[in-house]
Amino acid sequence: MSRYIDADKLMEVLNGFTQFHHIETLTVGTFVDMIVDMPTADIQKEIDYWHDRASSYEQTIVKLSNALADRREVVRGKWTEERLPSTSGGSYQVWRCSNCKQAFNWRMNYCGNCGSRMGDGE
């Protein structure tokens, strides 16, 4: 799942760094640390918003996760039928996900490995 950070907050951190150091002394490692330490954008606002509309903590979590799931980018994939050699000398059928290439013994409407949604009838 994508992790979004607040670009304005990152600029604040960078400006803070340049108040005490020359920008030329900023290493890639330090810059990566700054990005890793950034809080995910607006998640607290989301929690507060759903908390105001829920009667319990559990309901807040459910409403928040539903809202995030609705916004998540839907990745679509296709099953590809394939035969693999079996140890007994024959072969057996598998279904391979077009996105992550994981093979399964059965088809589902989503990939159990990467979560891609599979097209109807494919």
Interface residues with Zn ion (CB under 5 A) are 97, 99-100, 111, 113-114, 116
Of 35 and 108, which CB lies nearer to Zn ion in the complex structure? 108
CA end-to-end distance (rounded Å), the chain: 25
Which H/E stretch holds residue 118?
strand 117-118
DSSP state of 21: S
Q: Work out the number of other CB atoms within 10 angstroms of the CB of residue 110.
A: 14
Q: Which is nearer to Zn ion, 65 or 113 (CB)?
A: 113
Least distance in Å: CB of 86 to Zn ion? 23
Of residues 34 and 102, the one with the C-beta less far from Zn ion: 102
Q: Minimum distance between the CB of residue 52 and Zn ion, rounded to whole angstroms?
A: 37
DSSP code at position 24? G
In angstroms, give the least distance from the CB of 74 to Zn ion: 13
Q: How far is the CB of 67 from Zn ion (least distance, A)?
A: 25
Q: Which is nearer to Zn ion, 50 or 95 (CB)?
A: 95
- Burial zone of 22 (CB within 10 Å; 0-12 exposed, 13-18 middle, 19+ buried): exposed
